[in-house]
Structure 1
């Protein structure tokens, strides 16, 4: 039995996760984009039972593919990744906190999660729905 199996469950599931910056802030460019993209990878390496297969920080969204052990909840893993990966950049860049007021958020609420195999149009629709939900009115 390998480390990703339980007695009655085979390999862990692979999930594709997409989330956007809150209010579509223009922070995911250049060196910042590289830094913000490396944070979820470092957090996933520290979590037991989570492996990051691939990931990218695009200017408009963050896209990662995780392998999650069967004993873990995908929602809990994603919550920890999103929460910590939003706080760490604000600690490294205090000027972001001044620009955003007291908020220490970087990510919009919600994310698109699916088993691997989801097509591109569904992912784009999820990103658009997130964008509509995070607009200031």
Structure 2
């Protein structure tokens, strides 16, 4: 579903995978619900929608919709940094296993999830119709520069 900001319509979906330090199998045990709640709260605070999310024993898959005003890199820095602090705050015993502030491994995987061709064509056609209506152009005045 498209979202909008003032004069912009957008749909920026990303598939993200990230792991705990040393791929420790820690997410599924007693910390699973806590980590899930922390990630949901942090995403909500930044206006990021979690479309789908799966917590695996040693990694996390998320399909998220990130507003275009925020880069994926800045969002991931925020998500991993803030969540690590919150996890250690709630579960102080983990500081000894992971070292303070180093719950997540350094990197992450990200891929874009795009629109299909039919959706793009329809969007472009709808935009042309909207522009014609807005500018009150007649059909004679309007010529498609990409045809002919």
* Shorter-chain TM-score tier: 0.7 to 0.9
Flag structure 2 segments of 5+ consecutive residues without an equivalent.
115-148
Match of 1:4 in 2: 4
TM-score, with length taken from structure 2: 0.68
CA distance in structure 1 between the aligned counterparts of 2:87 and 2:13, rounded to whole angstroms? 26
Residue 100 of structure 1: CA displacement?
3.0
Match of 1:26 in 2: 25
Contact 1:53 1:67 in 2 (8 A): yes
Alignment of 1:49-88 (within 5 A): 50-88=48-86
Residue 3 of structure 1: CA displacement?
5.0
Residue 69 of structure 1: CA displacement?
1.4
Q: Which is further off, 26-35 or 55-64?
A: 26-35
Contact 2:53 2:63 in 1 (8 A): yes
Q: Deviations over 1:63-117 (max 9, x none)?
A: 111111122212111111111111111111111112334x321110110011127
CA distance in structure 2 between the aligned counterparts of 1:5 and 1:104, rounded to whole angstroms? 34
Flag structure 1 segments of 5+ consecutive residues without an equivalent.
118-137
Q: Highest Rg: 1 or 2?
A: 2
Contact 2:21 2:98 in 1 (8 A): no
Alignment of 1:25-44 (within 5 A): 25-44=24-43
Residue 51 of structure 1: CA displacement?
1.3
The Cα RMSD (Å) is: 1.9
Higher relative contact order (CA 8 A, sep 6+): 1
Moved over 4 A (4+): none
